[in-house]
Chains A and B, each alone.
Chain A
Amino acid sequence: MSNPQQLRYSKEHEWLSAAGEDGVSTIGITEFAANALGDVVYVQLPDVGSTVSAGDTCGELESTKSVSDLYAPVSGEVTEINEDVVNDPALVNSAPFEGGWLFKVRVTSEPEDLLSADEYTAFAEN
């Protein structure tokens, strides 16, 4: 699997797009994480308008065998959630970096330990 170069990554296996001019980044989980979870059957995402804090749980992902917390990789206000993935959680498995994105955040601050694609690949493989 390959982790897109233009994204940055958390050690909790989320990816984060570069913020646009409006300061909004898109967040999802990596293909590595999706494969580890197995078939995702339910996603609970933060409410639009709520504030998330980097490193805090802000939702959950359920698969056949387990339930996992979803962590916010950055702090900020949630501007949009992916209703498609709420209705069809299998998108997380089939297109984790594209149609399976989870939510968008207007970033106010980000931690210093976000990883580049190469750093994350090395991290995930160990």
Chain B
Amino acid sequence: MTDAPPTPRRTALDARHRALGATMTDFAGWDMPLRYGSERDEHTAVRTRAGLFDLSHMGEISLIGPGAGDALDHALVGRLSALAVGRARYTMICDDEGGILDDLIVYRLGDEEFLVVANAANAQVVLDALTERAGGFEATVRDDRDAYALLAVQGPESPGILKRLTDADLDGLKYYAGLPGTVAGVPALIARTGYTGEDGFELFLAPDDAERVWEALTEAGAPVGLVPCGLSCRDTLRLEAGMPLYGHELTTDTTPFDAGLGRVVKFDKPGDFVGRRALEAASRQADSVSPRTLVGLVASGRRVPRAGYAVVTADGSPIGRVTSGAPSPTLGRPIAMAYVDPEYAGPGTEGVFVDIRGTREPYEVVALPFYKRER
């Protein structure tokens, strides 16, 4: 007897993706666009013009009530109670051992209202953990996964495109800020956030309005070369920008300090928080002997390192493991992120190779990110 395969969930824009001829892929139980045409062209469009993404698989969770900030301070590693209304913060939720359950963006929508955005694959885990950890605080945790569609318009042309569809003060909207407004005549939370390394916006709106806003953005963006973009280029864009991906650089076996993201852990906040003890130990260890370091690798050749491949010395001794790898459209060469022994982590370290299906290929160790936009 076998179980029937679970039906993948479809976003409010599913029919639109199919009409555009998208190659679809299963992603965390969602049927999502992988690419519409060439993923390299989509990547380049975001770097030089603009791209439009459907990210409705992301998991939204609301915390509401006078104790919502304190509840998040207890549940997460950051100090969210200090976040100003209208601002957003990148943070993480860890387990008791300091292992990362997910990385999150938290928006403060009001004095007593926060919106937590979790990765699709972890949304249930995060919802369950927040529900449990908010017990005892004056805060309600609400599953808002079905309440929002999420569109992102990313790239240097994105402010100009969005300005044509909203009266919101985009010039006053800083990076990692979000404000309620109207886009193409429908209410939306407009956030200046993204996962591409470019300027851009994420728009949280009612699923019933998604089609209308997608169409309006497509029309407004056409004159400046906006194209629909799938998850494939989103992955290469974030990799070039040195941004970690849960399940790759971040797992329950890694702490924020392993990932070089110890700065998100705020030990100076009042009260206890889940994972504090283990994270204090991880912090002390990172200050003396780090067990491993996340680095960037750039290929000399053209073969592409993939997640899980061993990083080795010239004689084949293992010194680390690739967590993400792809051909970089911007650099024109394969790149990877990898955890390596600290003695091999310095930029320019000689004698670092990746075992690509039995062949040792030389790699250059570089500091992350691979790509940084000019501001």
Contact = CB atoms under 8 A, between A and B. Distances in A.
Contact of A42 (B23, B35, B302, B357): B302
A41 B327 contact: yes
A41 B306 CA distance: 14
A41 B43 CA distance: 14
A69 to B, nearest CB: 10
Interface string B252-285: 0000000000000000000000000000000000
Interface string A25-39: 000000000011011
B236 A41 contact: no
Interface in A33-80: 35-36, 38-39, 41-42, 44, 60, 62, 64-65, 67
Given A64-B39, A64-B326, A93-B38, A38 B232 contact: yes
Contacts of A35: 23
Contacts of A65: 34, 39, 232, 235, 326
- Range for the number of chain A residues in contact with chain B: 10 to 19
Nearest to A64: B39
B304 interface: yes
Given A64-B326, A64-B327, A38 B302 contact: no
A42 B304 contact: yes
Interface in B33-71: 34-35, 38-40
B306 A67 contact: yes
Contacts of A44: 303
Contacts of B357: 60, 67
Nearest to B236: A64
A32 to B, nearest CB: 12
B302 A41 contact: yes
A39 B40 contact: yes
Contacts of B38: 38-39, 93
Given A64-B232, A64-B327, A38 B39 contact: yes
Nearest to A89: B302
A67 B357 CA distance: 10
Given A64-B39, A64-B40, A64-B327, A41 B232 contact: no
A16 to B, nearest CB: 26
A62 B327 CA distance: 9
Nearest to A43: B302
Contact of B39 (A39, A42, A60, A67): A39
A38 B303 contact: no
A102 to B, nearest CB: 16
Contacts of A60: 357
A105 B180 CA distance: 64
A38 B43 CA distance: 13
A38 to B, nearest CB: 6
Contact of A62 (B40, B232, B235, B304): B304
B126 to A, nearest CB: 26
Nearest to B332: A41
13 contacts: A38-B38, A39-B39, A41-B302, A41-B304, A41-B334, A42-B303, A42-B327, A44-B303, A60-B357, A64-B232, A65-B34, A65-B39, A67-B306
Given A35-B23, A39-B39, A41-B327, 5 more contacts: A38-B34, A39-B38, A42-B327, A64-B39, A93-B38
